[in-house]
Protein backbone atom coordinates (compact mmCIF):
# COMPACT_ATOMS: atom_id res chain seq x y z
CA UNK A 1 0.00 0.00 0.00
CA UNK A 2 1.28 3.46 -0.90
CA UNK A 3 0.42 6.32 1.40
CA UNK A 4 -0.25 9.48 -0.61
CA UNK A 5 -0.07 13.01 0.73
CA UNK A 6 -1.85 15.44 -1.61
CA UNK A 7 -0.83 19.08 -1.50
CA UNK A 8 -2.53 21.55 -3.79
CA UNK A 9 0.05 23.99 -5.02
CA UNK A 10 -1.95 26.10 -7.44
CA UNK A 11 -0.40 29.44 -6.62
CA UNK A 12 1.01 32.48 -8.40
CA UNK A 13 4.12 30.59 -9.48
CA UNK A 14 4.06 31.83 -13.03
CA UNK A 15 5.63 34.20 -15.49
CA UNK A 16 7.62 34.03 -18.67
CA UNK A 17 10.39 31.51 -19.21
CA UNK A 18 13.73 33.20 -19.69
CA UNK A 19 15.50 31.64 -22.66
CA UNK A 20 18.84 33.10 -21.60
CA UNK A 21 19.72 30.34 -19.14
CA UNK A 22 23.18 28.85 -18.87
CA UNK A 23 22.64 25.56 -20.66
CA UNK A 24 24.42 26.81 -23.76
CA UNK A 25 27.59 27.29 -21.72
CA UNK A 26 27.55 23.67 -20.58
CA UNK A 27 25.98 21.83 -23.50
CA UNK A 28 27.90 21.99 -26.74
CA UNK A 29 26.25 22.06 -30.14
CA UNK A 30 22.76 23.17 -31.06
CA UNK A 31 21.14 20.41 -29.01
CA UNK A 32 19.20 19.00 -31.93
CA UNK A 33 18.60 15.25 -32.13
CA UNK A 34 17.10 13.34 -35.03
CA UNK A 35 15.78 9.82 -35.48
CA UNK A 36 18.58 7.26 -35.55
CA UNK A 37 18.74 4.13 -37.65
CA UNK A 38 17.12 1.96 -34.99
CA UNK A 39 14.04 4.17 -34.78
CA UNK A 40 14.84 5.37 -31.26
CA UNK A 41 14.84 9.07 -32.14
CA UNK A 42 12.21 10.99 -30.26
CA UNK A 43 10.72 13.18 -32.96
CA UNK A 44 8.61 10.87 -35.09
CA UNK A 45 6.92 11.36 -38.43
CA UNK A 46 3.75 12.15 -36.51
CA UNK A 47 5.33 15.14 -34.72
CA UNK A 48 5.71 18.66 -36.01
CA UNK A 49 8.75 20.74 -35.13
CA UNK A 50 7.67 24.09 -33.78
CA UNK A 51 9.02 27.56 -34.10
CA UNK A 52 11.68 28.13 -31.46
CA UNK A 53 10.39 27.67 -27.93
CA UNK A 54 12.55 28.19 -24.83
CA UNK A 55 14.07 24.87 -23.70
CA UNK A 56 13.30 23.01 -20.50
CA UNK A 57 16.29 21.61 -18.63
CA UNK A 58 16.29 19.01 -15.89
CA UNK A 59 19.08 17.86 -13.57
CA UNK A 60 19.06 14.75 -11.38
CA UNK A 61 21.80 14.26 -8.81
CA UNK A 62 22.32 11.93 -5.85
CA UNK A 63 24.38 14.21 -3.62
CA UNK A 64 25.48 11.50 -1.15
CA UNK A 65 24.14 12.36 2.30
CA UNK A 66 26.94 13.04 4.83
CA UNK A 67 25.47 10.34 7.10
CA UNK A 68 26.42 7.79 4.41
CA UNK A 69 29.71 9.21 3.12
CA UNK A 70 32.63 7.19 4.49
CA UNK A 71 35.76 9.19 5.28
CA UNK A 72 38.10 6.46 6.53
CA UNK A 73 38.51 3.14 4.75
CA UNK A 74 39.95 1.58 7.91
CA UNK A 75 37.07 2.80 10.05
CA UNK A 76 33.89 2.29 8.02
CA UNK A 77 31.70 3.65 10.82
CA UNK A 78 33.28 7.10 10.57
CA UNK A 79 31.11 9.32 8.40
CA UNK A 80 31.36 12.82 6.96
CA UNK A 81 28.43 13.94 9.14
CA UNK A 82 30.88 14.01 12.08
CA UNK A 83 32.87 16.82 10.44
CA UNK A 84 30.77 19.96 9.88
CA UNK A 85 33.41 21.90 7.94
CA UNK A 86 33.83 19.03 5.49
CA UNK A 87 30.17 18.34 4.67
CA UNK A 88 29.37 22.06 4.63
CA UNK A 89 32.14 22.80 2.13
CA UNK A 90 31.15 19.92 -0.14
CA UNK A 91 27.49 20.91 -0.20
CA UNK A 92 28.35 24.55 -0.84
CA UNK A 93 30.28 23.39 -3.91
CA UNK A 94 27.31 21.27 -5.00
CA UNK A 95 25.03 24.29 -4.73
CA UNK A 96 27.53 26.43 -6.63
CA UNK A 97 27.44 23.96 -9.52
CA UNK A 98 23.66 23.65 -9.48
CA UNK A 99 23.16 27.42 -9.48
CA UNK A 100 25.78 27.90 -12.18
CA UNK A 101 24.03 25.37 -14.38
CA UNK A 102 20.60 26.75 -13.41
CA UNK A 103 18.43 23.96 -14.73
CA UNK A 104 14.69 24.59 -14.89
CA UNK A 105 14.15 21.53 -12.67
CA UNK A 106 16.50 20.04 -10.07
CA UNK A 107 15.88 16.59 -8.55
CA UNK A 108 18.16 15.62 -5.66
CA UNK A 109 18.41 12.31 -3.83
CA UNK A 110 20.08 11.54 -0.47
CA UNK A 111 19.24 15.05 0.70
CA UNK A 112 20.11 15.28 4.40
CA UNK A 113 16.68 16.33 5.67
CA UNK A 114 17.56 15.79 9.34
CA UNK A 115 20.18 18.55 9.41
CA UNK A 116 18.48 21.93 9.82
CA UNK A 117 21.58 23.91 8.84
CA UNK A 118 22.00 22.07 5.53
CA UNK A 119 18.27 22.23 4.77
CA UNK A 120 18.20 25.97 5.45
CA UNK A 121 21.25 26.53 3.24
CA UNK A 122 19.66 24.76 0.27
CA UNK A 123 16.27 26.41 0.76
CA UNK A 124 17.75 29.89 1.09
CA UNK A 125 20.18 29.73 -1.83
CA UNK A 126 17.73 27.99 -4.15
CA UNK A 127 14.95 30.34 -3.07
CA UNK A 128 17.12 33.40 -3.68
CA UNK A 129 17.83 32.03 -7.18
CA UNK A 130 14.12 31.83 -8.00
CA UNK A 131 13.32 28.21 -7.18
CA UNK A 132 10.40 26.81 -5.23
CA UNK A 133 11.47 23.69 -3.32
CA UNK A 134 9.74 20.53 -2.12
CA UNK A 135 11.46 18.11 0.23
CA UNK A 136 10.40 14.68 1.46
CA UNK A 137 12.02 12.54 4.15
CA UNK A 138 12.22 8.77 3.91
CA UNK A 139 9.99 6.97 6.38
CA UNK A 140 11.17 5.62 9.76
CA UNK A 141 13.56 8.52 10.35
CA UNK A 142 16.25 7.34 7.95
CA UNK A 143 17.74 10.84 7.92
CA UNK A 144 17.81 11.49 4.19
CA UNK A 145 15.23 11.99 1.48
CA UNK A 146 14.42 13.89 -1.68
CA UNK A 147 14.45 17.52 -2.75
CA UNK A 148 12.86 18.84 -5.93
CA UNK A 149 13.40 22.45 -6.98
CA UNK A 150 11.52 24.16 -9.82
CA UNK A 151 12.15 27.63 -11.24
CA UNK A 152 9.12 29.75 -10.38
CA UNK A 153 9.33 31.84 -13.55
CA UNK A 154 9.34 28.76 -15.74
CA UNK A 155 6.44 26.75 -14.36
CA UNK A 156 3.17 26.78 -12.48
CA UNK A 157 2.92 23.93 -9.96
CA UNK A 158 -0.64 22.66 -10.24
CA UNK A 159 -0.33 19.90 -7.66
CA UNK A 160 2.21 18.13 -5.46
CA UNK A 161 1.90 14.66 -3.96
CA UNK A 162 4.11 12.56 -1.73
CA UNK A 163 4.26 8.79 -2.17
CA UNK A 164 5.30 6.78 0.88
CA UNK A 165 5.97 3.17 -0.03
CA UNK A 166 6.22 1.96 3.60
CA UNK A 167 8.43 -0.91 2.44
CA UNK A 168 11.62 -2.56 3.63
CA UNK A 169 13.75 0.25 2.19
CA UNK A 170 11.59 3.10 3.54
CA UNK A 171 11.60 4.58 0.07
CA UNK A 172 9.49 7.52 -1.09
CA UNK A 173 8.73 9.49 -4.26
CA UNK A 174 7.55 12.98 -5.17
CA UNK A 175 4.99 13.67 -7.89
CA UNK A 176 4.53 17.16 -9.33
CA UNK A 177 1.87 18.20 -11.80
CA UNK A 178 3.56 21.00 -13.72
CA UNK A 179 2.47 23.51 -16.34
CA UNK A 180 4.86 25.55 -18.46
CA UNK A 181 4.34 29.20 -17.65
CA UNK A 182 4.39 30.31 -21.29
CA UNK A 183 1.88 29.41 -24.02
CA UNK A 184 2.91 27.92 -27.32
CA UNK A 185 3.11 30.00 -30.46
CA UNK A 186 -0.18 30.80 -32.17
CA UNK A 187 -1.46 28.04 -34.45
CA UNK A 188 -4.75 27.23 -36.11
CA UNK A 189 -6.32 26.23 -32.82
CA UNK A 190 -4.81 29.07 -30.80
CA UNK A 191 -2.26 29.03 -27.99
CA UNK A 192 -1.77 25.88 -25.93
CA UNK A 193 -0.40 25.28 -22.44
CA UNK A 194 1.82 22.27 -21.83
CA UNK A 195 1.27 20.18 -18.71
CA UNK A 196 3.42 17.26 -17.65
CA UNK A 197 4.06 15.02 -14.66
CA UNK A 198 7.41 14.97 -12.87
CA UNK A 199 8.56 12.22 -10.49
CA UNK A 200 11.66 12.25 -8.29
CA UNK A 201 12.64 9.03 -6.50
CA UNK A 202 15.50 6.87 -5.20
CA UNK A 203 15.05 3.11 -5.43
CA UNK A 204 16.37 0.49 -3.04
CA UNK A 205 19.98 -0.65 -3.52
CA UNK A 206 20.11 -4.33 -4.63
CA UNK A 207 22.18 -5.61 -1.69
CA UNK A 208 20.86 -9.06 -2.61
CA UNK A 209 19.40 -10.32 -5.89
CA UNK A 210 16.27 -11.30 -3.95
CA UNK A 211 15.55 -7.58 -3.54
CA UNK A 212 14.80 -7.32 -7.27
CA UNK A 213 11.11 -7.87 -6.56
CA UNK A 214 11.11 -5.12 -3.90
CA UNK A 215 12.67 -2.68 -6.37
CA UNK A 216 10.15 -3.67 -9.03
CA UNK A 217 7.36 -3.12 -6.49
CA UNK A 218 8.57 0.44 -5.93
CA UNK A 219 8.43 1.32 -9.62
CA UNK A 220 5.10 -0.49 -10.04
CA UNK A 221 3.61 1.60 -7.22
CA UNK A 222 4.87 4.81 -8.84
CA UNK A 223 3.36 3.93 -12.20
CA UNK A 224 0.09 2.79 -10.60
CA UNK A 225 -0.21 6.16 -8.91
CA UNK A 226 0.78 8.09 -12.03
CA UNK A 227 -1.80 6.15 -14.05
CA UNK A 228 -4.49 6.83 -11.45
CA UNK A 229 -3.58 10.53 -11.30
CA UNK A 230 -3.73 10.79 -15.11
CA UNK A 231 -7.14 9.12 -15.14
CA UNK A 232 -8.56 11.33 -12.37
CA UNK A 233 -7.28 14.53 -13.97
CA UNK A 234 -7.82 13.56 -17.62
CA UNK A 235 -4.10 13.82 -18.42
CA UNK A 236 -3.70 11.01 -20.94
CA UNK A 237 -1.97 13.42 -23.30
CA UNK A 238 0.61 14.62 -20.77
CA UNK A 239 4.29 13.69 -20.91
CA UNK A 240 5.91 12.04 -17.89
CA UNK A 241 9.44 12.59 -16.59
CA UNK A 242 10.80 10.02 -14.12
CA UNK A 243 13.99 11.30 -12.50
CA UNK A 244 16.33 9.88 -9.92
CA UNK A 245 18.73 7.23 -8.75
CA UNK A 246 17.28 3.91 -9.90
CA UNK A 247 20.09 1.82 -8.34
CA UNK A 248 19.96 -0.43 -11.39
CA UNK A 249 21.33 -0.44 -14.91
CA UNK A 250 19.76 -0.72 -18.36
CA UNK A 251 20.22 -4.49 -18.19
CA UNK A 252 17.90 -4.93 -15.19
CA UNK A 253 14.21 -5.82 -15.08
CA UNK A 254 13.22 -2.42 -13.65
CA UNK A 255 14.58 -0.63 -16.72
CA UNK A 256 13.02 -3.18 -19.08
CA UNK A 257 9.71 -2.78 -17.26
CA UNK A 258 9.83 0.99 -17.76
CA UNK A 259 10.74 0.57 -21.42
CA UNK A 260 7.66 -1.60 -21.92
CA UNK A 261 5.63 1.29 -20.52
CA UNK A 262 6.88 3.66 -23.22
CA UNK A 263 9.72 5.34 -21.30
CA UNK A 264 13.08 6.09 -22.88
CA UNK A 265 16.40 7.06 -21.32
CA UNK A 266 16.88 10.71 -22.29
CA UNK A 267 20.66 10.47 -22.09
CA UNK A 268 20.73 7.48 -24.45
CA UNK A 269 18.38 9.19 -26.90
CA UNK A 270 20.58 12.29 -26.95
CA UNK A 271 23.65 10.19 -27.74
CA UNK A 272 21.81 7.76 -30.03
CA UNK A 273 22.62 4.74 -27.85
CA UNK A 274 20.45 1.65 -27.97
CA UNK A 275 19.54 -0.94 -25.34
CA UNK A 276 22.04 -3.41 -26.79
CA UNK A 277 24.76 -4.98 -24.67
CA UNK A 278 27.32 -3.08 -26.74
CA UNK A 279 25.84 0.26 -25.63
CA UNK A 280 25.06 -0.74 -22.04
CA UNK A 281 28.52 0.21 -20.73
CA UNK A 282 29.20 3.34 -22.75
CA UNK A 283 28.46 5.61 -19.80
CA UNK A 284 28.42 5.36 -16.02
CA UNK A 285 26.96 7.56 -13.27
CA UNK A 286 27.88 5.89 -9.99
CA UNK A 287 30.75 4.27 -8.14
CA UNK A 288 29.15 2.29 -5.34
CA UNK A 289 30.52 1.31 -1.93
CA UNK A 290 31.82 -1.93 -3.45
CA UNK A 291 33.96 0.00 -5.92
CA UNK A 292 31.88 -0.96 -8.96
CA UNK A 293 31.01 1.66 -11.56
CA UNK A 294 27.69 1.54 -13.40
CA UNK A 295 25.00 3.70 -14.98
CA UNK A 296 22.08 4.00 -12.57
CA UNK A 297 20.89 7.63 -12.76
CA UNK A 298 18.19 8.36 -15.30
CA UNK A 299 15.80 10.98 -16.58
CA UNK A 300 13.21 8.80 -18.27
CA UNK A 301 10.72 10.34 -20.68
CA UNK A 302 7.35 9.03 -21.83
CA UNK A 303 5.65 11.15 -24.46
CA UNK A 304 1.88 10.95 -25.06
CA UNK A 305 2.36 9.38 -28.52
CA UNK A 306 4.09 6.33 -27.04
CA UNK A 307 2.04 3.15 -26.84
CA UNK A 308 1.98 1.43 -23.46
CA UNK A 309 1.18 -2.14 -22.51
CA UNK A 310 -1.39 -2.73 -19.78
CA UNK A 311 0.50 -2.02 -16.56
CA UNK A 312 -0.38 -5.30 -14.86
CA UNK A 313 0.77 -7.31 -17.89
CA UNK A 314 4.11 -5.48 -18.03
CA UNK A 315 4.62 -6.03 -14.31
CA UNK A 316 3.97 -9.78 -14.68
CA UNK A 317 6.45 -10.01 -17.55
CA UNK A 318 9.07 -8.26 -15.43
CA UNK A 319 8.51 -10.68 -12.53
CA UNK A 320 8.77 -13.65 -14.88
CA UNK A 321 12.07 -12.16 -16.02
CA UNK A 322 13.29 -12.09 -12.41
CA UNK A 323 12.18 -15.71 -11.93
CA UNK A 324 14.11 -16.74 -15.03
CA UNK A 325 17.19 -14.85 -13.81
CA UNK A 326 17.05 -16.58 -10.43
CA UNK A 327 16.70 -19.98 -12.10
CA UNK A 328 19.65 -19.26 -14.39
CA UNK A 329 21.76 -18.29 -11.38
CA UNK A 330 21.07 -21.79 -10.11
CA UNK A 331 22.59 -23.07 -13.40
CA UNK A 332 19.23 -24.20 -14.75
CA UNK A 333 18.37 -24.01 -18.44
CA UNK A 334 14.92 -24.05 -20.01
CA UNK A 335 14.42 -27.82 -19.81
CA UNK A 336 15.78 -28.58 -16.37
CA UNK A 337 14.20 -25.40 -14.96
CA UNK A 338 10.78 -26.81 -15.81
CA UNK A 339 11.76 -30.14 -14.25
CA UNK A 340 12.89 -28.24 -11.13
CA UNK A 341 9.55 -26.43 -10.92
CA UNK A 342 7.14 -29.29 -11.51
CA UNK A 343 6.36 -31.93 -8.87
CA UNK A 344 8.32 -35.21 -8.87
CA UNK A 345 6.75 -37.90 -11.03
CA UNK A 346 3.68 -35.96 -12.14
CA UNK A 347 2.97 -35.38 -15.83
CA UNK A 348 4.47 -32.76 -18.05
CA UNK A 349 2.81 -29.89 -16.23
CA UNK A 350 3.29 -27.56 -13.29
CA UNK A 351 0.79 -27.26 -10.42
CA UNK A 352 0.08 -24.11 -8.43
CA UNK A 353 1.46 -25.58 -5.20
CA UNK A 354 4.69 -26.59 -6.95
CA UNK A 355 4.92 -23.14 -8.50
CA UNK A 356 4.65 -21.52 -5.03
CA UNK A 357 7.25 -23.88 -3.58
CA UNK A 358 9.68 -23.09 -6.38
CA UNK A 359 9.21 -19.35 -5.82
CA UNK A 360 9.94 -19.91 -2.14
CA UNK A 361 13.16 -21.75 -2.96
CA UNK A 362 14.43 -18.89 -5.14
CA UNK A 363 13.43 -16.44 -2.35
CA UNK A 364 10.72 -14.58 -4.24
CA UNK A 365 7.98 -15.38 -1.71
CA UNK A 366 7.99 -16.04 2.02
CA UNK A 367 9.97 -12.88 2.78
CA UNK A 368 8.69 -9.45 3.93
CA UNK A 369 9.76 -7.89 0.62
CA UNK A 370 8.70 -10.78 -1.61
CA UNK A 371 5.61 -11.38 -3.70
CA UNK A 372 2.28 -11.31 -1.89
CA UNK A 373 -0.17 -14.21 -2.18
CA UNK A 374 -2.39 -12.04 -4.37
CA UNK A 375 0.50 -11.24 -6.70
CA UNK A 376 1.53 -14.89 -6.85
CA UNK A 377 -2.01 -15.85 -7.89
CA UNK A 378 -1.99 -13.12 -10.53
CA UNK A 379 1.27 -14.49 -11.96
CA UNK A 380 -0.20 -17.97 -12.01
CA UNK A 381 -3.24 -16.75 -13.95
CA UNK A 382 -0.93 -15.09 -16.48
CA UNK A 383 1.14 -18.29 -16.84
CA UNK A 384 -1.91 -20.59 -17.19
CA UNK A 385 -2.79 -19.42 -20.68
CA UNK A 386 -5.59 -21.90 -21.39
CA UNK A 387 -6.99 -21.68 -17.87
CA UNK A 388 -7.03 -25.44 -17.19
CA UNK A 389 -5.48 -25.11 -13.71
CA UNK A 390 -1.98 -26.30 -14.62
CA UNK A 391 0.91 -24.83 -16.58
CA UNK A 392 2.20 -27.09 -19.33
CA UNK A 393 5.70 -26.96 -20.76
CA UNK A 394 4.73 -24.82 -23.77
CA UNK A 395 2.96 -22.34 -21.49
CA UNK A 396 6.00 -22.23 -19.21
CA UNK A 397 8.27 -21.62 -22.19
CA UNK A 398 6.06 -18.86 -23.59
CA UNK A 399 5.10 -17.04 -20.41
CA UNK A 400 8.05 -17.55 -18.06
CA UNK A 401 11.18 -18.46 -19.97
CA UNK A 402 10.64 -16.37 -23.09
CA UNK A 403 8.67 -13.57 -21.48
CA UNK A 404 10.21 -10.15 -21.62
CA UNK A 405 9.31 -6.49 -21.27
CA UNK A 406 9.79 -5.63 -24.91
CA UNK A 407 10.16 -2.06 -26.11
CA UNK A 408 7.07 -0.63 -27.77
CA UNK A 409 7.46 1.45 -30.88
CA UNK A 410 5.76 4.77 -31.52
CA UNK A 411 2.41 4.19 -33.11
CA UNK A 412 1.24 5.88 -36.28
CA UNK A 413 -2.09 7.24 -35.14
CA UNK A 414 -3.38 7.89 -38.65
CA UNK A 415 -2.90 4.20 -39.52
CA UNK A 416 -4.72 3.14 -36.38
CA UNK A 417 -7.60 5.49 -37.16
CA UNK A 418 -8.20 3.72 -40.44
CA UNK A 419 -8.45 0.44 -38.56
CA UNK A 420 -11.13 1.54 -36.13
CA UNK A 421 -13.81 4.21 -36.08
CA UNK A 422 -13.46 4.34 -32.29
CA UNK A 423 -9.95 5.81 -32.51
CA UNK A 424 -9.70 9.57 -32.94
CA UNK A 425 -6.62 11.66 -33.45
CA UNK A 426 -5.70 14.52 -31.14
CA UNK A 427 -2.82 16.94 -31.04
CA UNK A 428 -0.72 16.85 -27.88
CA UNK A 429 2.42 18.57 -26.67
CA UNK A 430 5.38 16.44 -25.69
CA UNK A 431 9.14 16.80 -25.35
CA UNK A 432 11.98 16.37 -27.79
CA UNK A 433 15.37 15.47 -26.28
CA UNK A 434 17.86 18.11 -27.43
CA UNK A 435 20.98 17.24 -25.47
CA UNK A 436 22.24 15.53 -22.32
CA UNK A 437 25.49 15.65 -20.35
CA UNK A 438 27.04 13.88 -17.37
CA UNK A 439 29.48 15.52 -14.98
CA UNK A 440 32.24 14.57 -14.41
CA UNK A 441 32.64 14.23 -18.18
CA UNK A 442 34.77 11.08 -17.80
CA UNK A 443 31.53 9.30 -16.86
CA UNK A 444 30.38 9.73 -20.45
CA UNK A 445 33.26 7.48 -21.51
CA UNK A 446 32.51 4.80 -18.93
CA UNK A 447 35.29 5.94 -16.56
CA UNK A 448 35.34 7.32 -13.03
CA UNK A 449 37.94 10.01 -12.10
CA UNK A 450 39.76 9.46 -8.81
CA UNK A 451 39.86 13.21 -8.09
CA UNK A 452 36.06 13.64 -8.19
CA UNK A 453 34.77 14.20 -4.64
CA UNK A 454 31.41 16.00 -4.90
CA UNK A 455 29.51 12.70 -4.64
CA UNK A 456 29.70 9.05 -5.56
CA UNK A 457 27.21 9.84 -8.35
CA UNK A 458 27.56 11.91 -11.49
CA UNK A 459 25.21 14.79 -12.17
CA UNK A 460 22.93 14.23 -15.18
CA UNK A 461 21.39 17.18 -17.04
CA UNK A 462 19.03 16.88 -20.01
CA UNK A 463 17.66 19.68 -22.19
CA UNK A 464 14.22 19.25 -23.75
CA UNK A 465 12.21 21.33 -26.20
CA UNK A 466 8.42 21.25 -26.46
CA UNK A 467 7.05 19.63 -29.61
CA UNK A 468 3.58 19.10 -31.02
CA UNK A 469 2.66 15.51 -31.82
CA UNK A 470 -0.35 13.47 -32.85
CA UNK A 471 -1.68 10.84 -30.46
CA UNK A 472 -4.79 8.69 -30.40
CA UNK A 473 -7.82 8.66 -28.16
CA UNK A 474 -9.79 5.42 -28.27
CA UNK A 475 -13.54 5.81 -27.88
CA UNK A 476 -15.74 3.49 -25.89
CA UNK A 477 -17.88 1.08 -27.89
CA UNK A 478 -21.53 0.92 -26.89
Encode the chain (478 residues) as per-residue pLDDT tens digits. Answer: 566 666 544 333 333 223 233 333 344 333 332 333 332 334 333 344 444 467 899 999 999 999 999 988 788 789 999 999 999 999 999 999 999 999 999 999 999 999 999 999 999 999 999 999 999 999 999 999 999 999 999 999 999 999 999 887 899 999 999 999 877 554 445 556 789 999 999 999 876 766 888 899 999 999 999 999 999 999 988 999 999 999 999 988 899 999 999 999 999 999 999 999 889 889 999 998 888 999 999 999 999 988 778 898 899 899 888 888 888 877 778 778 887 777 665 678 888 998 898 888 878 887 777 888 899 999 999 999 999 999 998 898 888 888 765 444 433 333 333 344 455 677 888 999 999 999 999 999 999 999 999 999 999 999 999 998 887 654 333 3
Q: CA–CA distance from 423 to each of 15, 51, 301, 406 (Å)?
A: 37, 29, 24, 24
Q: Is the dihedral of CA 436, 441, 443, 446 positive or negative?
A: positive
Distance CA 396, CA 354 (A): 13
Q: At what angle do helices 311-329 and 212-232 cross, to 10 degrees?
A: 170
Closest C-alpha among 37, 24, 55 to residue 279: 37
Q: CA–CA distance from 178 to each of 11, 39, 241, 243 (Å)?
A: 12, 29, 11, 14
Angle at 262 between CA 259 and CA 266, to 5 degrees: 75
pLDDT in tens, 92-148: 999 999 999 999 999 999 999 999 999 999 999 999 999 999 999 999 999 999 999
Tell me, what DSSP letter sits at residue 410? Answer: B
Amino acid sequence: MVAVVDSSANSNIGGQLNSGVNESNLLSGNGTISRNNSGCGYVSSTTKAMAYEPPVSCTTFNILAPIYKRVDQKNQSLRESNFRAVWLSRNQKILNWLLHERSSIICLQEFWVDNEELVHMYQQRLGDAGYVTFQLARTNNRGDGLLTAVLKDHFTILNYRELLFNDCGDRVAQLLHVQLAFPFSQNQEGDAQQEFLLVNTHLLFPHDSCLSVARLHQVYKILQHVEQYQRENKLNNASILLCGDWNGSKRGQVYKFLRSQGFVSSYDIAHQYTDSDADSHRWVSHRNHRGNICGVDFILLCNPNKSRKPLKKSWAEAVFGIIKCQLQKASLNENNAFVFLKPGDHGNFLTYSAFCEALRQVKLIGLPYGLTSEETKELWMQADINGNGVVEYEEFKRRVWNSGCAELREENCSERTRDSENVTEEEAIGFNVKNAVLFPREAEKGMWPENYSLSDHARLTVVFSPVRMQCSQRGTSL
